[in-house]
Structure 1
Amino acid sequence: MQRNTHRCSGFAEVNGTRLYFEMAGKGRPLVLLHGHFLNHTLWNMHFDVLAQHYRVLRFDLRGFGQSAPYLTEPRPFFWHEDLWHLLHYFELKPASLIGFSLGGKVALDFALSQPDMVESLVLVSTGVSGFHIKERTRGKPLEDAFHSIEQALEQEDLERAADLCLRTWTIGPHRTEEQVSARVRNFIRRGTLHQWMNQSHKVLQPLEPAPPAFERLEEVQAPTLILAGTQDVPASVELAEILRKRIRRARRVLIPDAAHHLILEHPELFNRIVLDFLATYR
């Protein structure tokens, strides 16, 4: 483990896995959870800014980045239980959680299972257990896009799969490639390809809570900020509105000229919105 005054990094062995983490800053705990096929570097433009105000933890989810899928043999697990063990490992509770995509799904499941450990929630382009975007695209143009991605992965044509993912999620259904910065496109494409070539995620056996979060949204107690890009796939924008209506203490902010990876397209705006929201509950 590497340490300085308020910064450390290393590995935490919890819940049958080894999770890579980085922590910086001091003050109230704030945890950053990345999305599918990404890792802790998703937060490179946010980590130090947020650490000026909070004790910030970012880590690689099980099977992603530098985190191991398992220490011994594969077994079923819940993502949010990994988070529970990690917060106890560092004694970071209660904490505010910022989750992007899959990370938002994990944060929401955690908030429902451990409401006393969550101070506030920020859900960004979020997933929700029990809400399946693929099912929402049946009979619509995006169904073909998702099918093409799955087909490319089955054929192990990773370059094509990465291009299709970029087209679908990062660029979005209503924009051209030229409307998204090369910085964002290259970051997502490289990160996705690296994870797919590593393939450690392929042995994962994640479980969904029963009942899933989508059936329990009215039970969320934490104040919740929902962020979505107006250029994201329609089902994601629709989900953001559902969350706004059903989570009692929720408010939604739509980011124009951004798709799924809005935190990379508008990092300064994201930081400002999040810090303003978190300051309300300090």
Structure 2
Amino acid sequence: MAGRLDGKVAVITGGASGIGLGTVELFVAEGACVVAADIQDEKGAMLEQRFPGRVRYAHCDVTKEAEIAAALKLAADEFGGLDILFNNAGISDGMRELASIDAETWSWIYDVLVRGPALGMKHAVPLMLARGGGSIVNTASIAGLQAGWGPIAYSSAKAAVIHMSRVAAAQLGTQRIRVNAICPGLIATSIFGASLGLPRAVADQMAARVAENAAKVQPVPKAGLPDDIAQAALYLASDASAFVTGTHLVVDGGITVGSRHSWDQSGVSPFAELFGDAFSQSQDS
């Protein structure tokens, strides 16, 4: 049975762990050749060993334009071109209050989360045009849609990714290059621990804690896993979404559908808190 990405070549940033790793694995299973771009060289080498001839690793710090360009060039040199770019590399931070903003950290967050994907798109476009088009997928977040889901620098950067994807889609659509964003909810990865400043090994362990507890805070009673986002990326990367561009796909187990009382009968409605028995009686009648 043919894979949904047979003959396609993809570059996935942040491809050595978390959502990126899950997407590398799925894309390979669906027939693609993949360049996994990351700064985790040991994990990248292991990926090449797991998928000989199908995955190449590129050391890529997405704050460095030359390394982004080199990762994309590797796809063309090794696999003959580029059809898919998944700008997924991400970080978070602990700056939750305006009064605690550190200018250098703010700039670093934006360099990774906004400037990095922008430069990825810049260098991907010529390679995609040579193949007759392509698909670009950018990882945003529900933190870019609503307050309360992330630190202030991270959240505003993810909002920028959503709008940047929309503007890029408008510019590139006539050239048969589609651009979309994915907004993950609570996904069991190491990014939560990393945002607290924990060492990477400890942050990786914290992902299990997220998986254990996330199902309790959203309508869909399962933990969000990297494969859930990988499946969304597969849809947006494949020809199944040939008529989809300039949008963002929310993959969050329903956590943003409304306040808790909208899906949990034990939750208290804010109207009940305001109006007490009068609201309860109106609901019963």
What TM-score, normalized to structure 2? 0.30
Bigger Cα Rg: 2
What TM-score, normalized to structure 1? 0.30
Point out the structure with the larger helix share.
Answer: 2
Point out the structure with the larger strand share.
Answer: 1
